[in-house]
Structure 1
Amino acid sequence: MEYIDMYLVHWPIKLKPWACNAVPKEEDFEKQLDMETTWEGMQKCLDRGLCRCIGVSNFSTKKIQHLLDFASVPPAVNQVEMHPMWRQRKLREICGKHDIHVSGYSPLGGPGNAWGSTAVVKNPLINSIALKHKATPAQVALKWGLTRGASVIVKSFNPDRLRENMGSLDLKLDDEDLIEIEQLQERKIMRGDFLVNNTTSPYKTLEELWDYEI
């Protein structure tokens, strides 16, 4: 392999080099991430052709702005949780202003994950809109993300589900649908509790992790 397409910081946190637990243990954490030094190294990888793009994931608007304050190369993407019940309006605005693409993970609420929820695909409004358009709730949720200018990261190994997901491209949501979705009560599903502790993590609360944007 000569290069990778995207090299990104998955979470705004630093773990010890040998930490390989799927869920970090208390002893895995290091001090606060030095994002300026990290980004400088990533820019060098970009300059050397080792990657096509560099980006971030799970960055709040505050962290994005901090990165932009010193980065000579802005992030190409910010990969974040995004779905009709966690719409990321403020984050989308700042990313759009600086030509940072928003890539939405868990666009269906992550129902297949241990931490996920069926709240999105079982939401009464989403189901009502799906019924109106003879579509599925998943197609409505995916199409909503696409209409917001984001890419949506959805995973399935089931051929029928794959076809269903692709069907979202043919769906057209009307203005009334979009207005109604904007009224849904927001609920963040992937909160990042596993990155918060009172001893070794730089983040003692979820509010600190997300810069009070949760």
Structure 2
Amino acid sequence: MKLALFDLDHTLIPIDSDHAWGEFATRIGWADPVEFKRRNDAFYEQYKAGTLDIHEYIRFTTEPVRRHGPGASAEAHTRFMREVVGPAITPQARALVEAHRKAGEQIAIVTATNEFVTRPIAHSFGVQELIAVELARGPGGWYSGDIAGTPSFREGKVTRVAEWLAARGRGWGDVDITFYSDSRNDLPLLEKVQHPVATNPDDTLRATALARGWRILELFKEQQ
């Protein structure tokens, strides 16, 4: 089985969807414009530095959604897709996914961003298989602010992909995997697969890719 895995933020789309959702939530009045932005920016810097506490971040970033409930949140996300994410998706990114699809490969997006933010984005690429941070639900059936299971972050991506494969009766030796990512945070999974592709890589990942002879793809520069 040939499998094409894609990170999402700064890999398939040239924005961080989690951070962008926080900015959008602030813009529509769902969060304090000063304090939320300060904390959102700080968490984003921690992510880029590889020091993010994913549990703390999920409690923070889902607070506006938890407070407004499923109906209003779904409506807000539709607007977020229309105003922020949709315009950011490039023909080059769609073509890359489509090339793997036409080659008969199974496609999945593997992201450290939570399922609420990312599932509609995955669907916009025609990708049904999403491995994202799963959100636990409280007694009322809505998000509690906790993470369900292993977060798909850093080493957790390896665990979650292994679980995904096991659910289909397969292991690492049964698949030929290409994985596209921009981030140093994804080195554990990049090192696990047969075909790592450093895509729009950060400085640390670029240096690693050059040292190990990994393919480097500048997906967004190719549109300029």
- Normalization by structure 1: what TM-score? 0.30
User: Greater relative contact order (Cα 8 A, min sep 6): structure 1 or 2?
Assistant: 2
Computing the radius of gyration from Cα coordinates, the structure with the larger value is 1
Hey, which of these two has a bigger chunk of strand by percent?
A: 2
